A and B are shown apart, each in its own frame.
Chain A
Amino acid sequence: MFTTFFFWYCALVILGCGLLAISLRNPVHSVLSVLVLFFHLAGLYLLLQAEFLAAVQVIVYAGAILVLYLFVLFLINLKEELKLDAFVPGVKLGRGIAVGLFVLLLWALPSFTAGQHGQWTSKLIEENGHVQTLGLEIFTQYLLPFEIAGVILLMALIGGLVLAAKIDRPADNKTASVPEASGQQMEKHP
C-alpha cells in the first residue's frame, strides 16, 4: 500500500518537474526543478531496493552535475534566450505527435510481461552488498561497455575543450595559449 502510494507520488512529481524544467523561462528555476526531479528519481531507486544507486543518484547528479549546470548558467550569464528555427513547422504538429506517442504507449504497455530473471536475486544481493555486486558485474560481465563509457567521457571532455577554445588555429602559427591551457586540463583527467 505504502509502496504504491510512494511510487505514484514520485512518478507524478517527476513528471511535473520534467514539464516545469522545459517550460519555465528562467534557466535557474529549470535547473532547480531538475534537482527536485533527481531526488524523486532516487526515491524510485529506493523502491527498487537499489540503495547504492539511489545514493549515487543524489551525490553525482543532484550534488555534482546540477551544481556544474548552475555554474555554467552563472558564468555565461544569458540575458536573452537563444532562438533557433524550428525543425517542425508549427508547435501543434509536435504536440500532436507527442500526444500520439503517449496514447500509443498507453495502448501497448498494459500487455507488457516481464522477461526472464538474471542470476542475481534480491536476497543474494542483500547478502553480498550492493557495492560488491555492482562491482563484480561491471568489472567482469560488463567490462567492455564500462570502458566504452569511459572513452565517451574522454570524448566529451576533449569536445568541450575544442568547442570552448576561442580561436581557429592558423596554419603555422605558434600554438596559441588557449589550446595549451586545455592541454593541461586534459592531463588531469585520467
Chain B
Amino acid sequence: MNTRLLVPNSAAFDWSTAIPAMPELVLLTIGVVLVALDLFVPTQRRLLPWLTVLGVSVTLLLNLGMSFPLRPDSMLANDGYAAFFSTLCLGCVILTALMREMYAEQVNSHQGEFYYLLIFAAVGMMIMAAAVDLMTIYLGLELMALPIYVLVGMQKQETRTSEAAAKYFLTGVFASALLLFGMSLLYGLTGTSNLTAIGHYIAAHGLLSNSALLVALALMLAGLCFKVAVVPFHMWTPDVYEGAPTVLTAFMSVAPKAAGFAIFGRILFSIFPELYGNWGPVLAFLAILTMAIGNIVALAQTSLKRMLAYSAIAHAGYALLGLVAGTANGMMATMSYLFIYLFMNMGAFGILILLARGQKSRESIDSCKGLAGRNPLLALCMLVFMFSLTGIPPTGGFAGKFYLFQSALAAGYTGTVIIAVLLSAVSAFFYLRIVRLMYMSPADGEVALAQPATAMVVALVISVAGTLLLGVAPGLLFDWAGVALQP
C-alpha cells in the first residue's frame, strides 16, 4: 500500500470538524435508541411520545447552547442562523409528538415507528438548517424527505393516504432532480461545493453575466419552490396535505417548509446576492401568485383540512415576501414569521384533530358549528388561531405580517405589498367564517366532544401562549432573528 499520501492526510484529519455536528449526532442517537425500544420493549410503547419530547427538548437546548466559529472547510455551520431554524423545526417536532397520541387513539393506529421516523426527519432538517455546502444541503433535504414520504403513507386503512404518499414521493423526487441539476451546473462552473467559496468565485471571475449561471439559479429556484410549495410548483400540496394523517399535515405544513426556507435563504444570500436583480422580481411575482391562489381557492373549500392546506400555501407566499426584499431585515421578517406560523398553524390543526375525531366526514367546516356552546375554551383557542392566521392584532400573525410588509416596502415592492394586504383581507372571509360558525351558529345536533388528552392540552396551551406572546412582544423574536443573522 502506498502510504506516502495516506500518512500525512490521516494525521491531518481533525476530529474537531465533527463537533459542529454534535446536536445532530445526539438526536440521531436518540432516534436509534427509540428504534431499539420500539423493537425490544414493545410493552412500553406508551413511553415513546414522552421520550421523543424529552430527547428533542434536550437536543434543542444543546443546539441553543452550542456555537462554534465557522471553519472554511466545514460542511455544517453552527451559527445563529442554524440555531434559529433548528429550534423552529425541533419545536414543531415536539408539538407534533404531543398531538400524535390523541390522533393515534382516534384512528386506532399506534405505530411506534411514527416517532423515530419523525426524529430522523428532524435530523435531516437540522442538517439543512446548518448546511453550508451543496452536498450537505442536498443530503439533509433527502434525509428530511424520505421519512416524511413514509409517514404520509403509513396509515394504511385509508386509501387516500397511499395516494398522497405516492404523489408526494413523485413530486419530491422531481424537485430534487431539478435542484440537483442546478447544483451540478453550479459545481461545474466554480469547481467547489462550499457556498461561501462559490460566492467568492462567482464574484472574482465575473461569472455574473454567464447564462449557464442564470440557468443554474433558475433550476435551483424551481426545486426550492417545489419544496416550500410556491405556486406554480404547488399542485401536489392540497392533495398531499388533505390525504396525509392530520397530525402529519400539521407537521408538514410547518417544519419541512421552514427547513426549505432555511436553505432557500442560505443559497440566495451566500451564492447569488449579486443576482438580486434577477431573482428578486421573479420571487415577488411568485409570491403574489402564491398568495392569490392560496387565499382565493381557500374561499371555496368546505373541508376544514383542505382549507388549512390552501392557507398553508398562502402563508408560504407571505413568508416569501421577506426573501423578495433581499435584505437582512427581510430575512429576519421571514424567520420571525415562520416561527409565529409554527404556533398558530399547529394550534389550528390541533383543534381540527379534536373536532374531526379521525373521521373524514367530520373534517368539514360545519363541525365547527356551535363550538362556543359545546366547549367555550376550545372555541376561544380556535378564535386566537384564526385571528392570528388572518393577521389581526394583538396576535402573533399581525406582528409577523407587519414586519414582512415593512421589509418588502423598504425594498421598493409597493405594488406587491398592496396586493398582499388586499389578499390578507380576502383571507379574513374564510378564517372569520370559522369564528362565525363557532359563535353564531347553533350546533348540528352532535354535542359530544372528546375530552382532549393531556399531551394535546399541553400542545394547545403552548400554541396559544406562543401566538399571544409573540403578538404582544414580537420584538424579542425579531431581535433574536437579527442576532442569528449576524455573521
Residues of A within 8 A of B (CB): 84, 87-88, 104-105, 107-109, 111-118, 127-129, 132, 136, 139-145, 148-149, 151-152, 155-156, 158-159, 162-163, 166-171, 174-175, 179, 183, 186
Contact = CB atoms under 8 A, between A and B. Distances in A.
Contacts of B35: 158, 186
B136 A145 contact: yes
A163 B320 CA distance: 34
- Residue among A127, A152, A155 facing the most chain B CB atoms (10 A cut-off): A155
B384 interface: no
A78 to B, nearest CB: 14
Nearest to B202: A115
Nearest to B190: A115
Given A132-B6, A136-B9, A158-B116, 4 more contacts: A132-B2, A151-B143, A163-B153, A175-B42
A87 B171 contact: yes
B142 interface: yes
Interface of B: 1-2, 5-6, 9-10, 12-13, 17-18, 21, 28, 35, 39-40, 42, 73, 75-76, 104-105, 108-113, 116-117, 120, 123, 127, 133, 135-136, 139-140, 142-143, 146-147, 149-150, 153-157, 163, 166-167, 171, 185, 187-192, 201, 207, 210-212, 214-215, 218, 235-236
- Tell me the dominant secondary structure on chain B's binding face: helix
10 contacts: A84-B166, A104-B215, A104-B218, A151-B120, A156-B146, A158-B113, A162-B113, A163-B153, A168-B157, A170-B109
A141 B182 CA distance: 23
Contact of A112 (B2, B149, B185, B236): B185
Contact of B6 (A113, A136, A179): A136
Nearest to A129: B2
B191 A149 contact: no
Nearest to A160: B150
A130 B467 CA distance: 57
B235 A168 contact: no
A171 to B, nearest CB: 5
A140 B13 contact: yes
B21 A144 contact: yes
A127 to B, nearest CB: 8
Given A128-B5, A140-B10, A168-B155, A114 B212 contact: no
